[in-house]
Chain A
Amino acid sequence: MHTTNIQTDTRNFLVQNFLFGRAEQLVDDAPLLGKVIDSTGVLELIGFLQEHFEIIVPDEEVVPANLDSVNSITAYVSRKLDGKA
């Protein structure tokens, strides 16, 4: 999957799921955890990544470096998909 698609799909999910459709509230390199995504939201995000991109997100990879912004999520998913391929 192309990086642009990963970014677009992730953005759409975050905007619909956490921002009540308010796309202007989401900046691609701004921190998400504790700001856009609340405590149980992390589980929703992981559920989405696993289901939508068909990847496995093990506990040890649930770290800010992978999930704390649209850009970091995009990079993380790209790496996972590359690895899988």
Chain B
Amino acid sequence: MCGIAGMLHFDGRPADREVLRRMIATLGHRGPDAGGIHADGPIGLAHARLSIIDLQTGGQPMSTTDGRHWITFNGEIFNYVELREELLGKGHAFATRSDTEVILNAYREWGEDCVNHLNGQWSFAIWDSAERKLFASRDRMGIRPLFYTQTPNGFFFASEMKALLASGAVAAEFDAIGMDQVFTFWMSLPPRTVFKNILQLPPAHSLTVSGNQVRVREYWTPSFSRRADAALLDEQEAGKQLLHLLCDATRIRLRSDVPVGAYLSGGIDSTLTTALVRRIAGDRLRSFSIAFHDKDYDESKYQLEASSFLGTQHSCVTCSSADVARVFPDVIRNAEQPIVRTAPAPMFLLSKLVHESGFKVVLTGEGADEILGGYDIFKEAKIRRFWARNLNSKWRPLLLKRMYPYLKDFQRQSAESLKHFFRVTPEDLASPLFSHLPRWELTSRLKLLFSQDFAAQVGNYDALQELQETLPVDFGSWTHLSQAQYLEAKYFLPGYLLSSQGDRMAMAHSVEGRYPFLDYRVVEFAAKLPDRLKLRVLNEKYLLKQICRGMIPESILRRVKQPYRAPDSRCFFGAGAPEYVKELTSAASVGKSGIFDPQAVGALISKFTAEKANSVKDDMALVGVLSSQILAREFVNP
């Protein structure tokens, strides 16, 4: 795991080593172990290394033995052992034992299609000095990031946007449409980011730069369809295949020349991942978790049960509201986009614990909820459709209460008020975005805070409309669950969970996350499962629970699913509130950044200081304002 950066001048001017040094210096947290720069004529590649595989000879940028192709690579290719054998058989020469060199030779063998042979998490760029062509790619699920910008004279790329800003090729200026998307979906829609003229390569896409032409193409897409695979209708057979795949996905993710640890959240997914690691590796494993002082969020009881059951050596960081407030500016500096919940902050503290414990690699259960039907939003959509069949039903809306036992205010709602918040109109029912409309409409209300000027820049733009236009042509024929899963896996997972809450928080402390559930073979398999093996009535992750029996504690298997959450607004007010809240939300500061209306922000803050703010929307508004203001201070108006 590493940081990468590079530039290609279109006009033949030599790449500037000093600029490359500046760019890669901003990514030191991603790769503190070593660094390298390759500059040759118009191309410049830079690398900050976190040494994990082939510690001695795996340095980068790396070239093929003949010096024609050069690569800078962030990530891991987990099937590199098998690919290396295959490529040796085809006559390719290797000077190292690294997965980096496997990509180089795979590119020589298969050209741009090499990515279809890779199983892993990557962003890389390869320079072909003979053809004068740059080829860059990002992994299928979007685990590793890649940003770029194009000027009349050149192309610049990097793992994080701050490196592009350091190049001087682009200045930070908020993109109102990108911000509108974040305040709808919690993320910008790729290739857009929250900064003008900075783009991100979407997951499962490759890019080539030849001459001054940039061409982007999709090489893979999650393969949901109308019908489940007939061979997987049998529950036992499907379970057997899923377990086999998960074992193999975990096995190849243990390939590392440094010790591998595991995150234990106290839920099914990470406990199963840890159990599989134990089964495969056999030795005593180190596990890590977050606990909360606040009992509403704390899952340490289950984490300790899992650790004890699996015999791991466990370390835990206990997080308070004050901790969240303290690290919040650092969290945003790393996330590089506004967030509307504080949930990434504890992940930032967790990676710090892992780093201080001497670990660089952790396996986690990320991805299981998306691909195997675990999220509340899937159940919520199912209940809303069920209810729509009988809108006058008195008890159908009460099913929603069963879903959110941990939300106290929600439990106090009458059926009538639930009915109106989760209203189902004929137009909503017909929308391909049905499952996500309540979440996105709630978030969209935060845009009331936008200043007049900023809202004018957004104009009549409709984020939902843009998303709808990108959906696959046969989307309307998919099952409702598949549609909802696609929206989660294609957008929210890479755009928020794997970035703001994933890569960015882990890499802030030089920690690499590995995700067996996001092995593309597991993802493709899950997409072929019948819905009833994912969400059976309202029982989430049905098939996964079946294969977990005996492998994880029964108490974890039976517990009511609790989504990972962290304290929000309470971190920023009351005794010990950080100074920056007052400063960043002052009329002068809000006016300077230009995103929000100072009076509207003032009204929001007054509500909190009067202790009258207690809704999810208010919490999200506060976190959204603070994070945007931090971004403005850090990058736009430093």
Contact = CB atoms under 8 A, between A and B. Distances in A.
Interface of A: 16-22, 25, 33-34, 38-44, 59, 62-64, 68
B588 interface: no
29 contacts: A16-B606, A16-B607, A17-B612, A20-B448, A20-B600, A20-B601, A20-B621, A21-B600, A21-B603, A22-B448, A22-B597, A33-B421, A34-B421, A38-B421, A38-B442, A38-B615, A39-B409, A39-B422, A40-B410, A40-B615, A40-B616, A41-B617, A42-B413, A42-B414, A42-B417, A43-B409, A62-B414, A64-B416, A68-B420
Given A20-B449, A20-B600, A44-B615, A39 B414 contact: no
B607 A38 contact: no
B417 A39 contact: yes
Contacts of A33: 417, 420-421, 423
Nearest to A66: B416
Contacts of B412: 43
Interface of B: 409-410, 412-414, 416-418, 420-423, 442, 445, 448-449, 597, 599-604, 606-607, 612, 614-617, 621
A39 B413 contact: yes
Instruction: Report whether over half of chain B's contact residues are helix, strand or loop; otherwise say mixed.
Output: helix
Given A20-B600, A39-B417, A44-B615, 7 more contacts: A20-B597, A22-B448, A33-B420, A34-B420, A34-B421, A38-B617, A43-B417
A52 B413 CA distance: 21
A25 B601 CA distance: 16
Nearest to B615: A40
B604 A20 contact: yes
Contacts of B414: 42, 59, 62
A44 B614 contact: yes
Contacts of B601: 20
Nearest to B604: A20
A66 to B, nearest CB: 10
A22 B614 CA distance: 19
A25 B410 contact: no
Given A16-B603, A43-B409, A25 B614 contact: no
A34 B437 CA distance: 11
A34 B423 contact: yes
Contact of A40 (B449, B607, B614): B614
Contacts of A40: 409-410, 413, 614-616
B398 to A, nearest CB: 13
A21 B602 CA distance: 9
Contacts of A59: 414
Contacts of A42: 413-414, 417, 420-421
A22 to B, nearest CB: 5
Chain B CB within 10 Å — which of A21, A43, A44, A59 has the most? A21
A32 B420 CA distance: 9
A38 B616 contact: yes
A39 B602 contact: no
Q: What 10 A-B pairs are tightest by C-beta distance, nearest first?
A: A21-B603, A33-B420, A39-B421, A20-B600, A42-B417, A40-B409, A40-B615, A62-B414, A34-B420, A20-B603
Nearest to B400: A39
Contacts of B603: 16, 20-21
A38 B448 CA distance: 14
Contacts of A19: 448
